[in-house]
């Protein structure tokens, strides 16, 4: 069995301790992020998601462009021991709904530029409990999350019922 400390978030934490100022990621535009900053921001993102109710074993889809944010989300979700479902950002309509439904996604993290595609199909997804909008605050360069669709209690109850049905089917 693989030693859990070899997994991405633990490896980044080790590198952050050993070589905190070394470049962890470099974007084509020249911007860089150190291991220290990558680890700090990923843990902060994980804490924010945990406060929203994202937990171990949840299926969390990400609909993010290929930027540092995608890496930060991957690490944050790994800290929480979730199942990340990265989505093709070109998906819309039925393809997007199909992907989210068949992956048993309960939370979706979406960049602002893809929010309209998600809004168009949310009503078709009874198992989707929350949509989290990821955005960047320009003055501080920090990543923040905003829950744009914390679904009301009736919809959450429907989702729990759907979970029980799926669990029952898997147990057979």
Question: Residues 8-33: pLDDT tens digits?
Answer: 888 899 999 999 999 999 988 899 99
Nearest to 163 by CA among 80, 106, 98: 106
Three-state secondary-structure class, residue 137: strand
8-18 vs 68-79: helix axis angle to the nearest 10? Answer: 110
* Lowest mean pLDDT across 80-84, 112-116, 123-127, 143-147: 143-147
pTM across the whole model: 0.78
Q: What share of the chain is helix, strand, coil (3-state, %, to 5)?
A: 50, 20, 30
Model pLDDT for residues 88-133, shown as the tens digit of each residue: 999 999 999 999 999 999 999 999 899 999 999 988 888 898 888 8
The one-character DSSP state at 110 is E
CB 134 within 8 A of CB 141: no
Structure confidence at residue 154 as a pLDDT band (50, 70, 90):
very low
Domains, the chain, in order of start with CATH, read: 4-171 (3.40.50.12780)
Closest by CA position to 128, among listed 38, 68, 63, 71? 63
Q: Which region holds residue 24: left if phi is over 0, alpha if psi is between -120 and 50, else beta?
A: alpha
Give the C-alpha separation, 142 to 156, whole Å.
30
């Amino acid at each position: 069995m693989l030693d859990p400390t070899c997994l991405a978030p633990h490896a980044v934490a080790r590198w952050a301790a050993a070589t905190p100022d070394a470049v962890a990621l470099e974007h084509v535009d020249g911007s860089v992020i150190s291991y220290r900053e990558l680890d700090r921001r990923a843990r902060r993102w994980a804490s924010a998601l945990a406060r929203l109710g994202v937990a171990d074993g949840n299926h969390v889809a990400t609909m993010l462009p290929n930027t540092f944010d995608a890496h930060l989300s991957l690490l944050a979700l790994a800290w929480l021991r979730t199942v990340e479902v990265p989505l093709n950002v070109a998906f819309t309509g039925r393809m997007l709904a199909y992907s989210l439904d068949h992956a048993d996604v309960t939370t979706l993290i979406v960049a602002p530029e893809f929010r309209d595609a998600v809004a168009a199909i949310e009503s078709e997804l009874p198992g989707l409990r929350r949509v989290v909008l990821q955005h960047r605050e320009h003055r501080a360069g920090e990543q923040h999350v905003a829950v744009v669709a914390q679904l009301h209690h009736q919809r959450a109850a429907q989702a729990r019922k759907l979970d029980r049905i799926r669990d029952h089917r898997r147990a057979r």
